[in-house]
Chains A and B, each alone.
Chain A
Amino acid sequence: MLQFTSLTVENFGPFKGSQTIDFTSEDGVTFIWGNNGRGKTTLLNIFRYALFGRFQNRRGADVDLAGMSNIEGRADGHYDFKVVLRMLNDGKRYELTRQYVVRAGIGVPSKNDDYEQKVYLKEDGSILPVEARDHILNLIMPQEVSRFFLFDGELLQEYEELLLEDTNVGETIKSSIEKILGVPVLTNGALDTHAASEDYKKEKTRIAQSNAQTQKIASHMVALEAEKKEHSEEFQRLSDELTGELEKRNKLEDESQQSEHVRSLLKSMETLESDIKEKKDRREEIITQIVAATKDAWRGLISSRVEILLVEIQTKLKYLEDKDNSQKIALHFLEDMQKAVDNKHCQLCDQGIDDGYIEKLRKRINDASTEFSGLTVDEKLQLQSLRMRKATLDAMKSSSKKEILELLESQLDSLNVQIDDSSRQHKAVREELERHGDIEELSKDTQVSIKALAQCLKKIDNLKEGCQQEKDKIKEVENALTTLEEKLNRASTDSDMIEAKRKVDLCEQINDIFERGIASYRDKLKMDVEKDATELFLQISNDPDYISLKINENYGLEMLHVTGAIVPLRSAGFEHVVALSLIGALHKNAPLRGPIIMDSPFGRLDPTHKSNITKTLPKMSEQIVLLAYTHEIDEQQARETLGMALKKEYRLTRYSSFYTEIEAQMN
C-alpha cells in the first residue's frame, strides 16, 4: 500500500527555505489550515507537481517558472525550487525529488527556457536509473491512478462528466477507474492468452498442411488466415486513422468553438455589407426617379401662375369678344334701319315713316355707328394676341410634382438614415474583427476551418464505413475458418494433429477464463463500489429521502430517491458529496491503496454535512490530508469529531508578505 511519509518543499511559492510536512506512518487525518493568500493554492499545486509532474490542469495556461521561486529567496540569489515526496510502498522506502534548476550559464532566470527540470527517485536510499525510475513510478503511482489521490475542483468537475455517458472525458475517467481497480491486468491477460491460442492454431494448421489427409483443408485455412491477417491489418490501419481523425475533429471543434465569436462577427459583417449594398442600390433608384421628376417640375410649378394669368386673359378676351359680338348684332339692326330710311317704310310694322321721324332715324343710325363701332385695330391685334397666349398657356397646364417628390424624398431620407446606421455598425464590427487579426486572413482561415471540419467529418464517415466493412469481412473469413476447423477436426486422426488440437483447446480455455473474468470482476467491483459508496454517502447525507447510490456504465453515481426514482438535478453540494463517496469507495475497493489529499471539501456545504464529512473522512482511506480554510469548519469541533483519527495539524502562517511558514501545531 502506498503511503506518504513526508513532503519537503524548498523555495517554492511563499514557502521560503526548506520546509517539511510530516505525515505520520499511522492511518489517520492530517489537517493543513490556511487561507488562500497564504499559499494554500500553491500547496495544492505542489502536491500536484509532486504527484504528476505538472502544476495545473491540462487546460491551464503555461506556468511562469521564473515566478514560482520564493521572492525573498530570489533576493538571496536562490532561483531553484524543488519538492521531495517521501513514500512507503510494500515495505520499501521511496524518495521522489522533482525540481527546477537554473541552467548553467544563466544568472537570473527570466523565462521558462532558463530552467531545467530534474527528477530523481531513490529506492531505499539508492538513486534509480532513469528506466527503473519511470517503471517504478508507473507501478506505484501511474498518473491515471494518482489523479485519484488528489481530490480537488478539477477532479470534481471531471467526475461530474461521468454522469454523461458519451463524453470523451467520461471515457478517460472510466479507464482510469478501471485501471485503479486492476481491470487492465485481466483485459491484457485476455488479449495475451488469445494471442497465444492464435499461435497454437497456426501451429495446428501447419501440421495439418504436412498431413496428406488434411492438407487441402489446411492449405485453404492458411490462405484464409492470410486473408484474415490482411483484413485485420487494414482494419487496424483504418482504426488508427479513425482515431487520428476523431482527435483532429475534436481539435477542430474546439478551435471552432473558440473562433465562434470571430465567425459570427464575419457573418455580421457580410450581412451588413449586403444590406448596405441593397439599400444603396435602392437609393440610386430613388435618386434617379427624383432627378426625372425635378427635370419637369418647373412645368407643374408654374401652373398656379398660369391659372391666374389665364383668368386675367379670359376676362380681357371676354370684353373684347363681347365688344366684337355686340357690333355684329348692332350692324344687323343698322342695316334694317338704313333700309327703312331709304325706303321711308318700316318693314317691321309695315308702315310709312314721316320725314320728321326719318331725321331722327338718320341721327340714331349715326350715333349707333359710333357706339357700336366694334374693335379698333389695336383691339383686334390685342384679341389675336390674347387668343394666342391663352392657347399657349392652356397647353402649359401640368400637374404638380410636389406629392411624388415628397414621397420620394422622404424615402430617400429614411434610406440615408438606415445606410448610416448600418455603416456605423459595419465599422464597429470591422474594428472588432481587426483586433483579432487581418480580416482577409480571418475570413480565409474561417473558410479553411469550416472546409477542414467538413472534410474531416466526411473522412470519419468513410473510415467508419471502411472499418465496418473490414470487420464484416473478418467475420466472414472467421466463419469460414470455423467451418474448415470443424471439418479438419473430423478429418484428422493423426496423433500430432490430435496433440495440436489439444493444445489449442487448452489455450482457448485459459483465454476463456480471463474473458469471463473481466465481466465478472467488473460486475463485482461495480457492485462493491456501489455498496461502499452508498454506505459513505448515507453517513454524510442528512436527507432521509435519498436512500442509496446507483452506479452506471462509466462509474458515475446517481442518487436514488425513496420512491425509486433517480434524483435528476443535484445541487452542487450533493455533487460534492457523491463525488467524495465515489472516491472513498474506489480507495476501498482498489487493489490500490493510497492517500487522499483533499482541497477544501467543505466549501459548498451546510454545517451538518460538514460535520458528517469530517466524521466520515477516516473511512475513506487510510491516509487523509486535508487542506482547509481556517474558518471553513469549526476547528475545535473537527478535532472533537475526529478524536484519535486526527494525527497531525499544520497551519500556514504568515511571516511576511512573501514568506509563509508551514507550522506544526502541537496538540
Chain B
Amino acid sequence: MVNIRLSKEANEIAERLVETGKFENVITAAKFALAFALKNHFEEFDPITYTVPDSGGNNYNVGTVDSDGQLAALLRAIYPDTTTPYMYARSLMVFGLTKIGKRIEEEGMPSVSALCE
C-alpha cells in the first residue's frame, strides 16, 4: 500500500484538530488518533471486520506518514498476523478520529492533554 486515504469525515476531524494550531498537519493528528484508539478502544476495534466508510479524504503517502517504518513495526508487533499493517493503520486512524469526533461533538474541542488521559 503506497497511499493512506482517510474517510471524508475522519479527514475533516483531523483538519479540525490541525485548526487548533496544536497539530502540525493531518498526518500528526491521524497518528495521534491511531494511538488514541489503541490506548482507549483496543478491545472494541476489530481490524478484520472494521470497514472504513469511504475514501473521501485526502491522500497521504506512506513514506510521509511512516518515514522510519516504526508505525508498521508497531502494528505488526500488536497484530502479529497482519500482512497489511498500513491498512490496519488506516483503519485505526479513521476509527480513532471518529471517536475523537464524537467527543468533540459532545463536549466541544478538548485540550490535547485531556485526550491523553
Tell whether any CB of A sits under 8 Å from a CB of B in the complex.
yes
CB distance from B42 to the nearest CB of A (A): 6
Query: Is A406 in the interface zone, CB < 8 Å from B?
Result: yes
Q: Which residue of A lies closest to B29 (CB)?
A: A294
Query: Is A297 in the interface zone, CB < 8 Å from B?
Result: yes
Knowing A298-B34, A301-B116, the reply to whether A392 touches B76 (Cβ < 8 A) is yes
Knowing A305-B38, A401-B116, the reply to whether A298 touches B32 (Cβ < 8 A) is yes
Contact status B116-A302, CB under 8 Å: no
Contact status A297-B112, CB under 8 Å: yes
Q: Give Cα A191–Cα B101 distance, bound, in whole angstroms.
A: 98
Contact status B80-A385, CB under 8 Å: yes
Knowing A298-B32, A301-B36, A302-B39, the reply to whether A402 touches B116 (Cβ < 8 A) is yes
Interface residues of A in 360-403 (CB under 8 A from B): 385, 388-389, 392-393, 396, 400-403
Query: Is B62 in the interface zone, CB < 8 Å from A?
Result: no
Q: Which residue of A lies closest to B33 (CB)?
A: A298
Q: Give Cα A298–Cα B32 distance, bound, in whole angstroms.
A: 5
Q: Give Cα A385–Cα B110 distance, bound, in whole angstroms.
A: 39
Query: Is A145 in the interface zone, CB < 8 Å from B?
Result: no
CB distance from B28 to the nearest CB of A (A): 5
Contact status B38-A297, CB under 8 Å: no
Knowing A294-B22, A295-B24, A298-B32, the reply to whether A409 touches B116 (Cβ < 8 A) is no
State the main secondary structure of chain A at its contact with B.
helix
CB distance from B67 to the nearest CB of A (A): 12
Q: Which residue of A lies closest to B81 (CB)?
A: A385
Q: Give Cα A309–Cα B38 distance, bound, in whole angstroms.
A: 11
Query: Is B74 in the interface zone, CB < 8 Å from A?
Result: yes
Query: Is B51 in the interface zone, CB < 8 Å from A?
Result: no
Query: Is B35 in the interface zone, CB < 8 Å from A?
Result: yes
Q: Give Cα A400–Cα B32 distance, bound, in whole angstroms.
A: 12
Contacting residues, chain A, for B70 (C-beta < 8 A): 396
Query: Is A428 in the interface zone, CB < 8 Å from B?
Result: no
Contacting residues, chain A, for B38 (C-beta < 8 A): 301-302, 305
CB distance from A246 to the nearest CB of B (A): 60
Contact residue among A297, A305, A309, A388 (Cβ-Cβ distance under 8 Å from B116): A297
Q: Give Cα A294–Cα B73 distance, bound, in whole angstroms.
A: 20
Query: Is A662 in the interface zone, CB < 8 Å from B?
Result: no
Knowing A294-B28, A302-B74, A309-B78, the reply to whether A405 touches B113 (Cβ < 8 A) is yes
Interface residues of B in 66-101 (CB under 8 A from A): 70, 73-74, 76-78, 80
Knowing A301-B32, A401-B116, the reply to whether A290 touches B22 (Cβ < 8 A) is yes
Interface residues of B in 18-66 (CB under 8 A from A): 21-24, 28-29, 31-32, 34-36, 38-39, 42
Contacting residues, chain B, for A309 (C-beta < 8 A): 77-78
Q: Give Cα A388–Cα B39 distance, bound, in whole angstroms.
A: 21
A395-434: contact bitstring with B at CB < 8 Å (1 yes, 0 no)?
Answer: 0100011110110010000000000000000000000000
Q: Which residue of B lies closest to A304 (CB)?
A: B39
Contacting residues, chain B, for A301 (C-beta < 8 A): 32, 35-36, 38-39, 116
Q: Give Cα A117–Cα B38 distance, bound, in whole angstroms.
A: 97
Query: Is A300 in the interface zone, CB < 8 Å from B?
Result: yes
Contact status A405-B73, CB under 8 Å: no
A289-333: contact bitstring with B at CB < 8 Å (1 yes, 0 no)?
Answer: 011011101111110110011000000000000000000000000
Q: Give Cα A388–Cα B78 distance, bound, in whole angstroms.
A: 11
Contacting residues, chain A, for B21 (C-beta < 8 A): 287, 290-291
Contacting residues, chain B, for A393 (C-beta < 8 A): 74, 77-78
Q: Which residue of A lies closest to B28 (CB)?
A: A295
Knowing A298-B34, A302-B38, the reply to whether A389 touches B77 (Cβ < 8 A) is yes
Query: Is B105 in the interface zone, CB < 8 Å from A?
Result: no
Contacting residues, chain A, for B73 (C-beta < 8 A): 392
Contact status B113-A406, CB under 8 Å: yes
Contact residue among B32, B74, B77, B80 (Cβ-Cβ distance under 8 Å from A294): B32
Contacting residues, chain A, for B39 (C-beta < 8 A): 301-302, 304-305
Query: Is B106 in the interface zone, CB < 8 Å from A?
Result: no
Contact status A291-B32, CB under 8 Å: no
Contact status A290-B32, CB under 8 Å: no
Contact residue among A305, A396, A401 (Cβ-Cβ distance under 8 Å from B42): A305
Residue pairs across A and B with Cβ atoms less than 8 A apart, 18 shown, are: A287-B21, A290-B21, A291-B23, A294-B22, A295-B24, A297-B116, A298-B31, A299-B35, A302-B38, A304-B39, A305-B39, A305-B42, A389-B76, A392-B73, A392-B76, A402-B117, A403-B113, A409-B113
Q: Residues on B close to A: CB < 8 A? A: 21-24, 28-29, 31-32, 34-36, 38-39, 42, 70, 73-74, 76-78, 80, 111-113, 116-117
Q: Residues on A close to B: CB < 8 A? A: 287, 290-291, 293-295, 297-302, 304-305, 308-309, 385, 388-389, 392-393, 396, 400-403, 405-406, 409
